[in-house]
Amino acid sequence: MILPLSEKSKNAIRLGHKESIENTVYEGSIRSAKTFTSLIEWADYVLHCKMEKFLMSGNTLGSLSRNCIDDPEFGFIAISKGTAQERTDRDGSRYIQMGSKKIYLMGANDVGSYKKLQGLTIGGWYADELSLHNPMFIKTALGRSISSPLVRNIATLNPEAPNHWIYTDPDIGLNRWGSNYVPKYFRLWHFTLNDNPAITEERKRRLAESYSGIFYQRYILGLRIMAEGRIYGSFVNNKRGEEGNVLDIEPGTNNPKEKIFKVTFGLDFGGNKSATAIVCVGWFVRDNKLCIVILDEVFDSKNHSVESMISQWKSFISRIREKYLIDRAFGDSSEQLIIKSLNNLGLPVYVEDAMKRPIIDRIRLFDALFAQRRAFIMRRCKHTIEAFDTAMWDPKKIDERLDDGTTNIDSLDAVEYAVEREMSALIEDMR
């Protein structure tokens, strides 16, 4: 099967082949064919370039592989039609061999990731999800390619806030690529869902229903939009009623196929100006999709002693274990003393360190889960309901949750800790 191309995609590939465009950026909505189009341009460039060394990078190596390399029909290996093979060096680093040419594969989100580029001269660089790269990595990669007599840099990204550093940074911001790196050799392509002829109208509708607020505007409409107001619009607008996200009856009560098969816990420990929040999250399957429900909670804004937390945790576990199969628990990793104290109790669950993924990733996940009716809250969890209902974007910061004591972010953190370890499974299930 060959993915059909829009006229915009054909034009981008055609111009990329004929003209000496040094920096090309593909920006726009998800599923808009921007990645597939950019990979065709990239493969054509590498094939015809006289240089021998190149670079491909992503947020992580895993995301680069999933988004750009491994797809059996639309990944770089497939596009190269048998001329490219992925290999591993003796030091464990990965690369693609394309004839005599070597394309290094790297993750770019770590603070020290740029160090892997030192001393490397490349004829071109492909960056997937550019806005998720570490700024120093971008700066170094541009420097490595600019030192080459032949160069092409190709990047993809979903839109961010207009004042995001990916646009405004005085050294590497996209708004300055045209001035800092030869204006006539810079081109920006904007893609939307309508630029992908392979996607059906029904698929467009389902995608649109999976996002709300800024995520709808950025990932569906492909717009650079500031995050303002309430965060979880899909929850605020759909939390009540028979089809809402707040439940009176637990999943599995009327349908055994939806029985909760395990529970996980999230713990956010209280302190100065914050509350202790503990939640129990149930996991179940509905319509062949992995779903979650927040079953129960502890919320204490007054007692912050270790003794109080121990008592609350013991009581909570005792109540939950009578009904559900306990799986794992995750606590705020900054409170190692409290975690150690809880683990010394001999209870049937060990408290592990929460991953504490970027908050914007956690927000995006729950916004999508609520929109798709795959995340629910039992009505008795009044503090958690209030937390999702009132969560606000910080008007003074880019894509950050307001944390000034006026809203309950402690319950939000606890819920996210309980779920984030399996975020990849939930996201994969969305595709």
Instruction: Tell me the pLDDT band of 29, cut-offs 50, 70 and 90.
Output: very high
For residues 345 and 422, membership in a common domain is answered with yes
Burial of 310 (0-12, 13-18, 19+ CB in 10 A): middle
Contact in structure between 40 and 79 (CB atoms under 8 Å): yes
For residues 255 and 152, membership in a common domain is answered with no
Q: Is residue 239 part of a domain?
A: yes
Q: Is residue 201 part of a domain?
A: no
Q: What is the pLDDT of residues 343-374, one digit of tens each?
A: 999 999 999 999 999 899 999 999 989 988 99
Instruction: Report the candidate in 378, 365, 384 with the shortest Cα–Cα distance to residue 422.
Output: 365
For residues 181 and 231, membership in a common domain is answered with no
Q: Is residue 281 part of a domain?
A: yes
- Phi, psi at residue 384, to the nearest 5°? -70, -40
Q: Is residue 218 part of a domain?
A: no
pLDDT for position 2: 55
- What is the dihedral sign for C-alpha 183, 217, 5, 46? positive
For residues 66 and 137, membership in a common domain is answered with yes
For residues 20 and 165, membership in a common domain is answered with yes
For 50, the domain range is 7-195
For residues 275 and 387, membership in a common domain is answered with yes
Q: Is residue 212 part of a domain?
A: no
Q: What CATH number corresponds to the domain at position 344?
A: 3.30.420.280
Q: What is the pLDDT of residues 81-125, one digit of tens each?
A: 888 899 998 888 899 999 999 999 999 988 888 888 888 889 999
For residues 90 and 238, membership in a common domain is answered with no
For residues 110 and 178, membership in a common domain is answered with yes
Count of domains forming the chain: 2
- Phi, psi at residue 213, to the nearest 5°? 55, -135
What is the C-alpha to C-alpha distance for residues 399 and 247, in angstroms, rounded to an integer?
29
Helices (H), 164-258: 165-168, 174-180, 201-209, 213-219, 233-238
- Per-residue burial over 103-115, b = 16 or more CB atoms within 10 Å of its CB, e = otherwise: bbbbbbbbeebbe
Mean pLDDT over all residues of the chain? 89
pLDDT for position 177: 61
For residues 400 and 335, membership in a common domain is answered with yes
What is the C-alpha to C-alpha distance for residues 28 and 30, in angstroms, rounded to an integer?
7
Q: What CATH number corresponds to the domain at position 23?
A: 3.40.50.300
Q: Is residue 1 part of a domain?
A: no
Residue with tokens 């420990």: 269
Q: Is residue 208 part of a domain?
A: no
Residue with tokens 């991953």: 355
Residue 295 φ/ψ region, left for φ over 0, alpha for ψ in the -120 to 50 degree band, beta for the rest = alpha
